[in-house]
Structure 1
C-alpha cells in the first residue's frame, strides 16, 4: 500500500501544480461572462465577484471580441450601478471599463453626473479617475461645462489629482486644443511644483500648448534651463527640447544651452546623465571638449552594474557609430567585454557596434569571437548582426572571404526562415559585389540546399545558381548539387532545378549534351510543371540556334498583337516575329534614356494597378492610357498625378496620391470632378472608387469612372479637388487618432483631348487607304503654326498634339523657301481610321504656314481632328 500512497501523492501534487499554472482567462466565453455580469444588479454586491467579471470583460475587449451595440449598452448600464461601491479596487476597474466601452453621446449624459460628483469628492482616488474618464468620453460641449473643475484640478494640492488633469490635458490637445490653451496660467503654476511627476507633465503640456509659437517655445525652454528643475523626468524632457533647438541652430543662445547640457552630465540622477550624454553625442557641430565628456560618461555607463544602464549606453553608442564610428572607437575595450554579456540584447548591440568601429585588421579576430557567441543568441538578435555585416561589406572588401566563411557556418545552424533568408541575401550581396569570391559563395549556397528545409529559399538559390553559375571558372561543379534536387525534393524545387540545369545548358555549350540527357530523365516526372519544363527545355537544348528565347523589348506591342490575334479567327498560329516594334519620330538622347525608362515603368505599374482593381475588372482589356499628368506642385504636402484610361464605353481617371506628412494619415481619399465644358454632357457619372487609407510616403490609387458613348471622341475639361479625412498619428503609440477632420485640397484642372483617343495605324498603301475613305468626310484648312520654329520642330509639335504616326515625308527647297510634305495616320477610338495630308512651308524669315487635308471614317472625326490641329 505504501507505494500506492506515494504514487497518489505525486499525482495530487501534479494536479495542484497544474491548477496553479492555469490561466483564469482560459476558455472563457462572451455569453457566459455577460450572464455573470448580472451580478452588478444584485442588492448585496460582492466586490470580489464584480472585480472578476469586469476583469473578464476587459480581457474580451482587449482580445478583439466584438460586442453588439445592445450588449455594450447593457454592460454599460449595469456597471454604472457600481458607483455606490466603496471598494477602491472595484472603483478603479469601474472607471477603466467605462473608458474601454466608450459609450455613445446619448449614453454619456447618464454617467456624467456620477463622474462629476466623484470629481468633487474628498477621495483623491475618485477625483483623479473621474477626471481621466470624463476627458476620454465627453465631447467639446460637455468639456466646456467641466473646464472650471479641470483648471482647479491642475493646481490641486494632491499630486495624484494634478497629474491626472495634466495627462488628460495632453490627450485633449489632440482633439480640442482650444480649451486646453485656456489653462496656460494654471499649467505654468504647476510647472513649479515640488512633485516630480506634476512638474514633468506640466512642462510637457506647456510645450504642447505653445508648440505653434516658436518664440514662445524658445522662451519656455530658456526659462526651464535657468530655473531649478527638481524632477529628473522633467530634466530629461528639457534636455530633448534643448537638443531639438540646437539641431535647428537658428537664433538660439547656444552657449547657455551647451552649458546646461554640460551641467546635466554632473547630475545626481543617472537617468539625466545618460539622456544628456546621448543627446550631446548626437548633436552636429558640437564642441570637441563637450563631446569627449559625453563619451566618457557613456564609457563609464558601459561598466555599470545595472543592466538597464549598460543597455541604454550600448544602444546610444550603436546609433552614434552609424554616423561616425571613429568617435565610438575609444569605447572598444568595454564593448569587447560586453560582447559576452549575459543579456542577449546587450551582447548583440556590442557586437554590431564593434563591427562598425573596428578596423579591417581586427575583422578576423572579431569574427572568431562572434562565432563563439553566435550559437547562444536567438534569431531576432542574430538577424541584427547579419544585417550589420551586410552593410559593412563595401567597407571591408578584402575581408569578404572571412564574412562568407562565417555566414556559411551560420547557415548550417538551426534557425527560422527569416534568419536563413537574411544570411543568403548577405552572401549574395557579397557575391555580386566581388567576382573574386563569387564561386566560393555559390559553392557554400550549393552545399546549403542539400539540407535546406525551406522550399522558398531552395528555389531562390537554384535560380541564382542558374543565373551566375555558368559564368564561373568551373560551372560543372554545380551540376551535381542541382541534379540531386531532382530526386530528393518536392515538385516546386524539382521545377526550379530543371530551369537551373537548362540555364547551364544554354550558357555553357560544352555541357549541353550531358544536360540534355539529365533533362530527358525528368520528362516522366509525376508533377505536371516539372514534366512541362523538362519537355520544353529539352527541345531548346536540341536546337542549334544561339537565341532560344526571343528578346521582347516592347512588351506592350506583344500584348496588343496578342489581343488582336485572340479577336481574329485564329486560322494561323501566332508568331512573335510578326510583332512590329514601335519607333518614335525623334529618338531620345542617351542622357534621357534612364528617365524615359523610369516613366514607362511607372506607367506600366499604374496600368497593372488598374487591372487589379476588382471593381474595374469587368471593363475588358481594350484600353488607351495617357501619360502621367501632375495635378500638384512637386514640393506640396499632398502629391497627386492622373492617368486617363479610355475604354470602349467608359472613361476612367486614375489618381495616384501620395501623402508626404509623416505625422498624418488620410482616410477615405477621393477626387471630386466638376464638369466645366459643353462636351462633358456626353458623360454620365458611374462610380467613384475611394482609397480607404493613405499612409505617409506611400502611393495609393483612387478612381472616377464615367460612362461615355461608344465610338465618339470628344474634348472635355474638369475641375478637381482632393477630398479626405485627415487623422493625426499619436507620436507615442504610432497609431492614428480615431477622430479626424474632413478637408478639401484644390488640384489643377484635367482636360480630355482628341489625342487621348488615337492609336497607331499600320498601312501598306497610303494612296489606296486615302481613296478608300469616304470623300464626303474630307476637310481642309490653312493656318499659321508657331512662328520662328523649323519645319521639323513644327511637325514634331503637331505629332505630339495629335499622337498620329508619321508614314511619309518629303523635303524640298524652292527659291529660298522650304517645304515639307508628309502623311500622318492613326486609328481614333479603335475603329475610326484617320489620315492627314500635311504641307508645311517656311520662307526666309521663318514664317511657317500649314495646309491640312483630313479624311476619316466619319465626318465628325475629321472635324474634331482638324479643330485639334488648328487650336
Structure 2
C-alpha cells in the first residue's frame, strides 16, 4: 500500500512537470507552425489556441513580435469551415489583439462573419472580436452593422452588439450615442422565440404538460438578458443627463407603483433599482416616487429583485423604522429559505442594518437564533454578529459560548467580523467585560493572520480606553501576546500602549519583565520601541529605586548592535537627569504634522526675505503620535489631488490628509503669477463649500486661502452639459456689508469651459484692509459667462453665443473655519502654561441643541479646533466638558478652549466658553465664531 502511494505521488509529479512544459510559452511559439500546415488540423489548432488563451489568462505576456506572429498565424485559420475552430480563433484574436501590431488588417475577414446572411454561430463572436481590434476612426464605417445587430431577434447577437457598443463608447462617444434608439428598442423587445420555435403543443422540444411548459418558459426567460445589456448601454449614454435618466427609470419601472414594468429580466431590474437609488440620493424631490417603486419591487416574483429592493431601502440615508418594516419582513422570509445564498445575503444585510436600527432588526432574532447552527459558517457568522448587536445583556454569555465553538471553522475574514461585533458589544454592555475579554484573549492565542490579530488588539485597546475596570487584566493579556507575536507592527503598538498606561497602574513593575524581554529577543524595530516604553516607566515614576532599576536596564541597551536602539537609550538616560528634556521628549504626546512642516520649510527656503529670520514653527500644527503613525502607514496621495470633482469612483484612492490638501493648494497658488508677491499661504480651507445643488447643470465649490495681507477665493467650476461651452467665466462677489475690511483686487477668469475640461478654477482676490484683524463677511456670488452651443458635426463651439448668468449660494468667510487650524497638544499642561496669558469668557444659550453630543459636534465644526477630550458626551449626564486646541493663522498663536455645557430637556444647552491664548485677538476670534 505504501509503495502504491509512493508511485502515485511520483506519477503526479511527472504530470506536473509535463504540464509545465506543455504550457510553456517557448514551446507554444514553436508549435504555432501547425497554423501553416495543409490541410489544417482543426483538433491540433483548437488545442494550441486553448493553450495560448490559458497562458494569457494566468498572466503570461507575449512580446510584440511574438504576439503579432501568433495573431496573423491564427487569422490563417479563417479558411477552415469548422465552427468549433472558428470560435477558438475569435477567442485567440480577442486576447492577442492587445499586444499585437497591425491588427486592423484582419477587419475584412471578421466583417464577413458579421453579415446577416452568415452563420448565426459566427456573428456574436465576430462582433466581440471586431470591438477589440477596431480603430476609433473606423467605428462610423461599421455603424450600420452594429445597429442591425442590436435589434436582431437572436438574443446572442443582440447582446454581443450591445456589450461591444458599451466598450466602444469611451473611444467613439458621438457615434455610439446615435444608437440610442436601437438600444431602446432592444429594451422594449419581447423575448425571442428564434431559439425555440413554436408549436401547437407548446415550445418545440417540450410536451404539453405543465412541468415541461414551465421548463420551456425558464429557458425562454434567458433571452431577456438583452434587456440587461441594453439598459447598461442606455445609462452609459445618458449618464450626464439626470433628467433623461429619471425619465428612463419612470418609463421602465412602470410609473410610481412599478406595476407595469417593461423589464422582465431580473438582472435588468436589479440594475434599474440601483440607478433609481442613485437618483433618489441625488434628487430629494424624487425620493417619494422612487420609494413607492422600491416597495412594489419588494413583492416581485424574483428573489433577486426582492433582495435588491430591500437592500437599497435599508441603505437609504435617514431611513426611518417605519420604512424599514417591509424590507426587513422580506429579509426575514429569506432567513428560512432553503437556498444558502438567500440566507447569506439576508443575514449580511441585517447585520449592517443592526448597526443603526437594532430595534427594527430585533424582530428577526428568533429566525437568526435558528441559523447559529447552520452548516454554512458564513451564514452562522453573520447571524451571530447580528444577534450580538440586537440582543440583550442576558444573552451575551450564551452567544459568546456559541461563538467559541466554531471560531476555528471559519476564515480570518469572518473572524474579523465577529471581533468587530464584540468590540461594539463591549461598549454597549460594559458589565459583561469579563466574558468578552476572556474570549478575546483566547482567540488572540489562536492561529490567524495580521488583520485578524490587529482586530483583536483594537478591541482590547478600546476596552482599556473605555472600561477602566478591565485595564489591568487587558494589559496582562497583551503582555502575554507579545511574548509570541510574529507581527512587528502589533508588537510596537502594544509596547507604546504599555508605556502610556503601564506607569499609571497600581503595580507597574509587573510589566517590566515583558518589555525587557523584547529588548533581548526581538528585532531592532521592536527593541527600539521597548526602550522608549521602559523610559516612560522611569520618567513617570516617583520611586527613586525603581527609576534606578530602569536606568540599569537602559544602560545595557547602550551596547546594542543597532544605532537607533543605542541612541534612544542614551537620550532617555539623559532625560532622567534633565526634567525639561523629559517633558519634551517623553511626556509630550504631540509631534509636528510632517506635511505642514514640509510646506512651511519649502516656503521658508523660497522666500529670500524670510530666510534672514529664524524659522518660526509656532504656527505649524501638531498631531498626536498615534495619528502620525497612521499617516505614515497610509499611501501618499499628493499626486492624486487635483481640483475637487463631483464624480463618485468606487475604487478611488484613500482621501488625502488635511495637510496634504493644504500643500497641494499651496503648490497650485504658487504656480499663478498674480499671487507671486503675496508670500506663503497662511491657511486654506480643506472642505470646499458647495455653492450649487448637486443635480444642476453647473456645479461650483469654493475654497478660501488666507495670506498675510490678502484673501483669495478659489471657485472650482464644472460644466456638466456636453453640448455647451462656456467662455469668459467669472464670479462676481458682492459683500453684504459695506465695511467688511476687504477690498477686491482682481478676478482671474476661465477663458473656456467645456464638459471635457471640467472642472476649472476662477480666482477672486481681496486685500485685507487691516492685516492684524480677522475680517469676516458674507458674499453674494453671481457666475457670468458667454454660452455657446457645440456643433455636433465638428465638435467645435459656434461663433455666436449669448451672455448668461447663474446665481450661486452665498460664500462665507467665517471666524473659526477659515482662520483657526486644528492642533494637537497636551491640554492640561498647555492650559496651565497659558494661565497668565490672554483670556476671554462668555456664556451662550444653544436652545436648538437636543443633546450634549449634538452640541459637541456643532462646536467642533464651528470652531474648527482639535478635540482633545470630551467628544463623546454620555446620555446619562446633563453636565459635560469639551476641550479644544488650535492655532490662529497669521501669527495669532496658540488658543485653547474649555467648553462647559449643561443640558436641560426642552431648554437646550447652556455653554460657558472659557478661552486662553497667546494673544487677545485670538481669544476674541473664538468667541466671535460661536457668537456669530
TM-score, scaled relative to structure 2? 0.59
Aligned equivalent of 2:410, options 355, 377, 380 = 377
Is structure 2 residue 504 aligned with structure 1 residue 471?
Answer: yes
Is structure 2 residue 358 aligned with structure 1 residue 325?
Answer: yes
Equivalent residue number for residue 81 of structure 2: 86
Equivalent residue number for residue 386 of structure 1: 419
Is structure 2 residue 740 aligned with structure 1 residue 745?
Answer: no
Equivalent residue number for residue 810 of structure 1: none
Contact 1:314 1:349 in 2 (8 A): yes
**Alpha-carbon shift at residue 659 of structure 1 (Å):** 11
Is structure 2 residue 170 aligned with structure 1 residue 142?
Answer: no
SS where residue 292 of structure 1 aligns?
Answer: helix
Q: How does 1:91-130 map to 2 (within 5 A)?
A: 91-102=86-97, 107-120=102-115, 121-130=117-126
Judging changes above 3 Å, is the alpha-carbon distance between structure 1 residues 532 and 658 closer, same or farther for their aligned structure 2 residues?
Answer: farther
Structure with the larger RCO, 1 or 2 (CA within 8 Å, 6+ apart): 2
Q: Distance in 2 between matches of 1:752 and 1:39?
A: 79
**Alpha-carbon shift at residue 133 of structure 1 (Å):** 1.9
Is structure 2 residue 257 aligned with structure 1 residue 234?
Answer: no
**Alpha-carbon shift at residue 117 of structure 1 (Å):** 0.3
- Larger radius of gyration between Structure 1 and Structure 2: 1
Q: How does 1:638-657 map to 2 (within 5 A)?
A: none
Q: Distance in 1 between matches of 2:143 and 2:45?
A: 32
Judging changes above 3 Å, is the alpha-carbon distance between structure 1 residues 11 and 545 closer, same or farther for their aligned structure 2 residues?
Answer: closer
Residues 535-571 of structure 1: CA deviation (Å, up to 9, x unaligned): 4434543x274653547999799x99xx9xxxxxxxx
Q: Distance in 1 between matches of 2:317 and 2:685?
A: 37
Q: Distance in 1 between matches of 2:528 and 2:461?
A: 22
**Alpha-carbon shift at residue 382 of structure 1 (Å):** 1.0
Judging changes above 3 Å, is the alpha-carbon distance between structure 1 residues 404 and 659 closer, same or farther for their aligned structure 2 residues?
Answer: farther
Equivalent residue number for residue 217 of structure 1: 245
Judging changes above 3 Å, is the alpha-carbon distance between structure 1 residues 217 and 450 closer, same or farther for their aligned structure 2 residues?
Answer: closer
SS where residue 748 of structure 1 aligns?
Answer: strand
**Alpha-carbon shift at residue 116 of structure 1 (Å):** 0.9
SS where residue 122 of structure 2 aligns?
Answer: helix
Q: Distance in 2 between matches of 1:554 and 1:231?
A: 58
**Alpha-carbon shift at residue 126 of structure 1 (Å):** 0.9
SS where residue 485 of structure 2 aligns?
Answer: coil
SS where residue 322 of structure 1 aligns?
Answer: coil
**Alpha-carbon shift at residue 119 of structure 1 (Å):** 0.3
Equivalent residue number for residue 41 of structure 1: 36
**Alpha-carbon shift at residue 517 of structure 1 (Å):** 3.1
Q: Distance in 1 between matches of 2:279 and 2:300?
A: 21
Q: Distance in 2 between matches of 1:57 and 1:611?
A: 52
Structure 1 residue runs of 5 or longer lacking an equivalent are 1-5, 564-577, 589-597, 613-623, 645-656, 664-716, 727-740, 754-871
Residues 787-822 of structure 1: CA deviation (Å, up to 9, x unaligned): xxxxxxxxxxxxxxxxxxxxxxxxxxxxxxxxxxxx
SS where residue 760 of structure 2 aligns?
Answer: strand
Contact 2:64 2:100 in 1 (8 A): no
Q: Distance in 1 between matches of 2:143 and 2:92?
A: 24
Judging changes above 3 Å, is the alpha-carbon distance between structure 1 residues 153 and 291 closer, same or farther for their aligned structure 2 residues?
Answer: same
The count of corresponding residues between Structure 1 and Structure 2 is 634
Residues 46-76 of structure 1: CA deviation (Å, up to 9, x unaligned): 2233233323333343444443332232222
**Alpha-carbon shift at residue 742 of structure 1 (Å):** 6.9
Aligned equivalent of 1:165, options 137, 161, 167 = 161
Q: How does 1:437-448 map to 2 (within 5 A)?
A: 437-448=470-481
Contact 2:67 2:100 in 1 (8 A): no
SS where residue 90 of structure 2 aligns?
Answer: helix
Contact 1:632 1:747 in 2 (8 A): no
Q: How does 1:583-594 map to 2 (within 5 A)?
A: none
Contact 2:65 2:100 in 1 (8 A): no
Q: Distance in 2 between matches of 1:390 and 1:128?
A: 53
**Alpha-carbon shift at residue 113 of structure 1 (Å):** 0.7
SS where residue 403 of structure 1 aligns?
Answer: helix
Residues 73-96 of structure 1: CA deviation (Å, up to 9, x unaligned): 222221111212333333223222
Judging changes above 3 Å, is the alpha-carbon distance between structure 1 residues 722 and 133 closer, same or farther for their aligned structure 2 residues?
Answer: farther
Q: Distance in 2 between matches of 1:611 and 1:261?
A: 47
Contact 1:25 1:56 in 2 (8 A): no
Equivalent residue number for residue 519 of structure 1: 554
Contact 2:298 2:327 in 1 (8 A): yes
Q: Distance in 2 between matches of 1:46 and 1:14?
A: 35
Aligned equivalent of 1:427, options 453, 456, 460 = 460
Structure 2 residue runs of 5 or longer lacking an equivalent are 192-222, 255-259, 602-612, 622-630, 632-655, 668-678, 691-698, 708-713, 721-745, 769-932
Equivalent residue number for residue 232 of structure 2: 204
SS where residue 102 of structure 2 aligns?
Answer: helix
Aligned equivalent of 1:505, options 527, 532, 538 = 538
Equivalent residue number for residue 459 of structure 1: 492
SS where residue 323 of structure 1 aligns?
Answer: coil
**Alpha-carbon shift at residue 289 of structure 1 (Å):** 7.5
Q: Distance in 2 between matches of 1:69 and 1:186?
A: 38
Contact 2:717 2:760 in 1 (8 A): no
**Alpha-carbon shift at residue 633 of structure 1 (Å):** 6.6
Judging changes above 3 Å, is the alpha-carbon distance between structure 1 residues 93 and 746 closer, same or farther for their aligned structure 2 residues?
Answer: farther
Q: Which deviates more, 432-441 or 274-283?
A: 274-283
Q: Distance in 2 between matches of 1:718 and 1:98?
A: 55
Q: CA RMSD in A?
A: 4.9
Equivalent residue number for residue 177 of structure 1: 173
Judging changes above 3 Å, is the alpha-carbon distance between structure 1 residues 111 and 404 closer, same or farther for their aligned structure 2 residues?
Answer: same
**Alpha-carbon shift at residue 146 of structure 1 (Å):** 1.5
Equivalent residue number for residue 189 of structure 2: 192
Q: Which deviates more, 340-349 or 437-446?
A: 340-349
**Alpha-carbon shift at residue 311 of structure 1 (Å):** 1.3
Q: Distance in 1 between matches of 2:456 and 2:401?
A: 17
**Alpha-carbon shift at residue 445 of structure 1 (Å):** 0.8
SS where residue 145 of structure 1 aligns?
Answer: helix
Equivalent residue number for residue 52 of structure 1: 47
Residues 690-733 of structure 1: CA deviation (Å, up to 9, x unaligned): xxxxxxxxxxxxxxxxxxxxxxxxxxx9989899999xxxxxxx
Q: Distance in 1 between matches of 2:665 and 2:42?
A: 59
